[in-house]
Chain A
Amino acid sequence: MKGKLTNVVGSSGVQSFLASLLSIFCGLLVGLIIMFIFNPANAFAGFVDMITGGFSSMTYLGQVLYTATPLILLGLSVGFSFQTGVFNIGVGGQFTVGGLTAVLVGGLIDLPSSIHWLVAMLAAALVGMLWAVIPGVMKAYFKVNEIITCIMMNYVGMYLTNQLVKDLHYDRTLVASKYIKKSALMPKLGFDKIFEGSSVNSGLYIAIIVAIIIYIILYKTSFGYGLRSCGFNLDASKYAGINEKKNVMYVMLIAGLIAGLAGGILYLSALTKNLKIQETFLNETNYAIPIALLGTSHPIGVVFSGLFIAYITVGGTLMQGKGFPVETVNMITAVIIYFAAFSLVFKQALGKMSLALAHKAGMDNNANAEVKSSKGGEK
């Protein structure tokens, strides 16, 4: 029995999963403590709201799925790049320019509703991809650290978006972009019937399809083999003749495309979703890295971590009903997400623990099993 337990805990995939669960648990615990500090009387009730809120009605469940859509895509963008040894920290910029493109194409151009949203969405993805060209070229051909260029491109993207919204498609009273045309809205595909009152739309399908495509690329194709090889050991990959420069370019382009797509989908999901003039990065893009880390950069893991973060975010807004001001709510969700990024630490701890367990199990069985397996391995 103990031997079995050791085997299960010893497998790396299970360790990643357990580590993610553990970090979520710790985050929730610390969140609860903070709630007790601010509002001891309502802390528990508020906490229950946050934990159960997402499932409390079909509308909220729909909101969870809606919130999760761009989060999953952004997590995929970052996680994909992480797996290949590139650090795409530029989702902030790529996402924003993608959103801008979607709003402009959706608001200024007249097209039939069957293709308007599609054109706007694809344009957003394309511009997101172009936004990643500069960090990609700089990293691949001039050895400039992509983290720095990405951060710079994020600021350029944010201010450029503010400026272009003001110049081209501005509503003074809203201090934001004007609404897009109805024809540019993402199709609902019946989601509006199941989840009445929420904005969930076909973008969710797209996010999941992208996750599957990324999974196939990374683990089933020779292209992905080369990418992951570069991610694990750049020197050996170069030695083996893999063109790492081309790979860096491809990775940045794909990651930028996905981030731009995320921005496009978000700003095409509802008429009221307009681009606000602001000087900070959107929460969505700030959450991208923790989502990738919590999902261990694995595309399927990222889908679930994106859903979780969305769930907590939606649940958090419900806490306001229990007298928690929106700032506290944001702080608590931030703490939980912050802990999500610790999953790597927990994974290491689990690895050590399983080793210790294995030793004990070995002692108990008088090492008989071990001898057999080691002999079997030697043959």
Chain B
Amino acid sequence: MTTLPLMESALLSAVSRAKSESLALIEPASRPLIPERPLESGEQYRFHFDMRKCIGCKCCVVACNEQNGNPAELNWRRVGEVEGGHYPFTQRHYLSMGCNHCLEPSCLIGCPVEAYTKDPNTGVVLHSADTCIGCQYCTWNCSYGVPQYNAQRGVVGKCDLCHNRLSDGMAPACVAACPEGAIAVEIVNIAEWRRDYLPANAPGLPSADDSISTTRITLPDNLSPDTGRVDLHRVALEHPHWPLVFMLVLTQLCVGAFAVLWLLDRLGRASLNLAAFASLGLAGASLAASSLHLGRPIYAWRALKGLRRSWLSREVLTLSLFAGAAAAFAGMLLLDLPGRGAAGLITTLAGIAGIMCSARIYTVRARPAWFRAYTPAEFYSTALLLGPLFVELVNGGVPLWVRIAAIAGASVQLLTQLLKFLWLSRSEAFELRASSLLLSGRLRDLFVTRLVLLPGVGVALSLAATRGWILAAAFAASLIGEWLGRYLFFVSVVPKNIAAGFASSERKAA
């Protein structure tokens, strides 16, 4: 033993020091995986995830799917990967996430039918598949991508913390399946957590500020500061939601049209009937068509239930009011009844409110590219561009200011789009930059077409439209341009989400 090299003691103590440091931080091995006592008031259940223990085996994902009888495409629990540092001092870690059972669940706040409840006893964010109408608004609202739409069923589904197992004293499927004991359910004091929820944040996760996630994450020591998602280099296009593309543009058109009609009527313009009924028809058709977006269209009426919280409910209400008022206004125009000035005003105001409600649906934190005034600006510009053009096309013989309004609409829209793109492309945030890269990359041709249609066709043709067919072409081009714009609006948004694996099919190759 005397012949040991001098560095021996230094070496061994270095190893054992590292060892004891890490051991000291490791929680007791016997720590229970589910709570051993009932909840007291002011407390709720939540997940604890220990990133130090997770080996990325994905047992939790498979167990969750088996537990809930879900098809492979839906994963209420997902495992993402993060990486940092440089070889050979690379750090790779995994993030296993179900629902975070947030203190301010954005899914719940947005739901128009009150399909979500935050269980008063357990704090679990529950979703009722029987109440759900499949509007998917919650899937846009959650920063973690937790609620997932099951197209086969026409409803959304999500992790419910296996609370029915928990109440039987059994661990949730993910907890029970984890070979490393990395996932646990524990009790959290709600008030304390609201004061300090920093442990809900981790590399690869959106900020817990959005909804105050309750999941506590234990991070490895000395995590490399550049640790981040490994799935950032490929972004899939989001779903286009075709019924919504059509519905949004057409309702906005109709709002613009009725505003113009009301003003024209006020100014004493006669024989507006054709345009009024054409606009009314469009409004009715587009509102009816929008129910096709629902997984369960028969229950569309339920969407009025959530007025207290949901912008979707409010949109349904205001646009229904708009349609009702528009019908009254059109009828009064036809019968030349007095007092239609008030009806027209109500129609216009309801329409303006309706567009605002539409826009508020999309201005959610979980979808940063929508979470700006650009969204209402884009929607109102559509109304301003298409409404006047439509009235002129159908009715003919309108004053110049109508044409000027349309040109103003096209110009504001163009400005909105350019400023938005500039904002996206200069952003540091991944989701915004990725959105701009989609527009300048995979979606470039469509995006350029959209921009060219606005000044080139919307403005130039409108200016030049001395004949009916040119005006018709101007209107058609503008309408197509707006539809294209709304399509790009939906597909180019990059939602916040938890980190995914590098090769998971969740984010498909384009």
The answer to whether A and B assemble together is no
Q: What residues of chain A have their CB less than 8 Å away from a CB belonging to chain B? A: none
Q: What residues of chain B have their CB less than 8 Å away from a CB belonging to chain A? A: none
